[in-house]
Amino acid sequence: MLSQILLTAVLATGALASPVECITGESDLEWISKNSSLPKVVIYSTGGTILSASNYSRLDNVAYGSGVGPTVPELIANVSEVLDVAQLAFVRFPAPGGSAGINSTLYLNVTQYANRHLCAEDSDIAGAIMFHGTNTLEETAFGVDLTFNCSKPFIATGAMRPDTYISPDGRSNFYQAVAAAASPASRDRGGLIVFNDRITSIFYSTKTNANTPDTFKALEQGNLGAFLAGQPFYFFGPAYPTGRPHFDVSNVTDLNSLPAVIIVYGHQGFDASLMYAAVANGAKGLVILGPGAAATSPSAKAAAADLYSQGIPTIAVARPVTGTGVPDPVAGALIYSSYVGAEQARVMLQLALNAKYNLDEIRDLFESPLRNAIFGPTANQQFYYGS
């Protein structure tokens, strides 16, 4: 009955007093529905541009944020067609300071809720979507993807234009994310990003443009699907990304406790003392962006070898927007990230260190799919390792 009252208010006014909702720390979900036979989709809202507004004009997409943006129920009212696709509930997660100020606490919180809501044996929830600021969406989404423990769809989305813009992209992204989360075709693919009529894998996606709506891409791996008339069409059958691991964080109670991992930027004249300074400041692992195919200077290699002997791993990531560094036939101190980007490598290394992986296990985590593909075939073994 309460959900029907909420629905009536949402559709009638588009602006209502705060409804009963599941705030972080509570377990019950209150469903907004006009058809109880539709799939259930839970929204994890961390804010972002999709819920932002401008005080300046309908053309402002650069200085927004000070206006009063829509609440989740108001967004539903503005895109009321979503209630023809799914029943909706939402959980709010505060993200003060915007997505650039977020740390691993957020994705650990979201993933623990998602595992409980969607992955319990008696769960009747079809899927979940997450609203997130686009500046660090790929990091939070990647953390959830590696710790979410069932085959149901988990969809990340947001917006590049505030809701007050003359043509806000968030409304379309919202509808399409709900449609993807409600679709059985979205299962067994790992986490997905839905943005600008396209579907990509969280595992491979990155933000490629700081300003335009057409920003989240998996440049090398491509789109998994597209939207037609608001509905998802997948180009391929269900499959998980190669080498995608899973980490169990159900027993992590201190959400601020993940080991620190620092990213450093390799360039001409790189000062390897920065690597030592990061470790002295508490880093338990490093990620270094290397030019070309994750190349590193002699001083960086020497520092990585020294730190490796102290139990500190260094993950080498290719600095170009796509491509990968390839590990040497005989493993050295540097560990290569394969097609995992720097931001994602940082998250994955944090989770591996938290799970007490040793250095060999960390190397296997990052390198084994690529190493097996390159050095595993008999023909390659002959010329890389001799007869």
User: What pairing do the DSSP bridges indicate for beta strands 231-234 and 261-265?
Assistant: unpaired
- The alpha helices in the chain, defined as continuous H runs, are 2-13, 72-78, 104-119, 137-145, 169-182, 273-280, 291-294, 298-309, 342-354, 359-375, 378-385
d(CA 30, CA 114): 15
d(CA 293, CA 291): 6
Asked about 314 being catalytic, the answer comes back as: no
Residues 6+ apart with CB under 8 A from 12: none
Residues 6+ apart with CB under 8 A from 292: 318, 319, 320
Rounded alpha-carbon distances, angstroms, from residue 18 to 14, 32, 126: 12, 13, 25
The distance from CA 136 to its chain's CA centroid, rounded to whole angstroms, is 8
Structure tokens at 125: 């929830």
User: Among 8, 24, 49, 105, which one carries the catalytic annotation?
Assistant: 49
d(CA 127, CA 182): 6
| Of 131, 210, 127, 206, nearest in space to 163 by CA | 131
- Residues annotated as catalytic are 49
